[in-house]
Amino acid sequence: MSYDITIAAHRALTVELVESWAAARSWVVTREPDHLVLESGRAQLEVWGPDPAEADDFEEALAAACLAPRWMVQVSTAATAPKAAIAQLRSLARHLAEQTDGAAFDPRQDGLIWPRGVRKATVPAGERETSMLTLDWFVAPSRWAQTAGGLVDLLARFCPEALPTRYGEWEPLPHRFERGQFTRAVHGPKVFWRSTRPCFGGWAYGPGDGAFPVGRITLTFDGGLVRADDRWREGVVDLFTTGAERFGAFFAAAQDEPGYTVSRNRPWQTDSMQSGEYFLRGTDWQGLPPVPMWLSWYGGPYATLVSPGLVRLGEAPKPRADLPEVVPPAELTYRHRPPFVDAHGAIAMEPARPEDRASQIPDLES
């Protein structure tokens, strides 16, 4: 039996990180073929890994505490080790977690060693310009119950910042987050929520009763914060792809829309014209978008008709004007109608028209 602590790491562990901790405390490091051994007197610690990993390989609390985990490391000592040795084990685990942009979890204490508290995105004070990074998942009606039931588990593990602080069907949002009650609300026709940075919030619409009903989950992020940190970029991609897989989405997209100002995690638009794509312009599926997206996911029938799985147009989020012109076949796309400024000076969208629908819409349940 041993006393084990697990580390979820974004960056790969190096031997030098272990040796620097050991040298500062006069421990001796021995390199074994598949692990490291640290010794000081009769005390002995072991370091195993790093091994490739992803969020689903860790306890929920540990996965949630590390942005875009890529590696698993385990540090161990004897189960009967004295308290002083266990204290050193925890110190080593914290050091390695800090230095690999990771997190360390002690199963015996059922808690995190590092980080303490909620991870936060660092932002400058006051107003600043940013963009709106929007993630959308679309599912067939038969998958809506599975999608609604799995949303909280997905966010809790991959992006707890996207969990609601408040939610409801109207403003001001009346309800504080409680896991079971919020999940029941997602099963309903619609729900909106606010979140913590870098996530602004999201909404969910259940399938309607039209000719091509679909369910939709949407999350919005502070594009400036995501773009500035590679951990957040990869964390958002992980969230996007895992959500598409778990929900069984036939299509998903991530797009970056410039022209926003944000203060205290509340965004408002400063450009005179919106550039984000609306996809549905109603509740029925119209077809695939005829414009490029930073991230696209093709599942169900579109996996065969377009390209299976993830299509990523660049490492970092970019507005549509800066993306290569990679779009689905014309027969699968709807007619693009950009927003316009109405007679009152407000930005408006034309409702979807039957003639705008893609000429080929496959069976979304297949």
Q: What is the mean pLDDT of residues 96-125?
A: 85
251 phi/psi in degrees, rounded to 5: -155, 145
What domains, with CATH codes, occur in the chain?
A: 2-114 (3.30.70), 128-356 (no CATH)
CA 130, 134, 140: angle at the middle one, nearest 5? Answer: 175
Please list the residues that pair with 150 across neighbouring strands. none
CB 274 within 8 A of CB 350: no
Closest CA to 13 of 46, 47, 50, 38: 50
Residue burial 1-26, b: 16+ Cβ < 10 Å; e: rest: eebbbbbbbbbebeeebbeebbeeee
In this predicted model, what pLDDT tens digit does every residue of 69-108 receive, in sequence order? 999 999 999 999 999 999 999 999 999 999 999 999 999 9
pTM of the predicted model, to two decimals?
Answer: 0.89
Angle formed by the axes of helices 15-24 and 83-99, to 10°? 130
Q: What does the pLDDT read at residue 81?
A: 95
Q: What does the pLDDT read at residue 278?
A: 83
The two tokens of residue 317 are 């989020």
Cα 258 to Cα 270: distance, rounded to the nearest angstrom: 9
In sequence order, what E strands does 289-356 have? 295-298, 309-312, 340-341, 347-348
User: Which amino acid, residue 178?
Assistant: E
> What pLDDT band is residue 264 in, cutting at 50, 70 and 90?
confident
Q: What does the pLDDT read at residue 118?
A: 56
Query: Rg of the chain over CA atoms, in angstroms?
Result: 24
3-state secondary structure 52-92: ECCHHHCCHHHHHHCCCCCEEEEEEEECCCCHHHHHHHHHH
In this predicted model, what pLDDT tens digit does every residue of 300-358 receive, in sequence order? 999 999 999 999 999 999 999 999 999 999 999 999 887 777 888 777 777 778 899 99
Q: What Cα–Cα distance (Å) separates residue 363 from each residue in 6, 39, 42, 108?
A: 45, 63, 67, 50
CA 329, 334, 340: angle at the middle one, nearest 5? Answer: 130
CB 131 within 8 A of CB 260: yes
In this predicted model, what pLDDT tens digit does every residue of 7-66 receive, in sequence order? 999 999 999 999 999 999 999 999 999 999 999 999 999 999 999 999 999 999 999 999
CA 58, 60, 63: angle at the middle one, nearest 5? Answer: 60
Closest CA to 167 of 154, 147, 184: 184
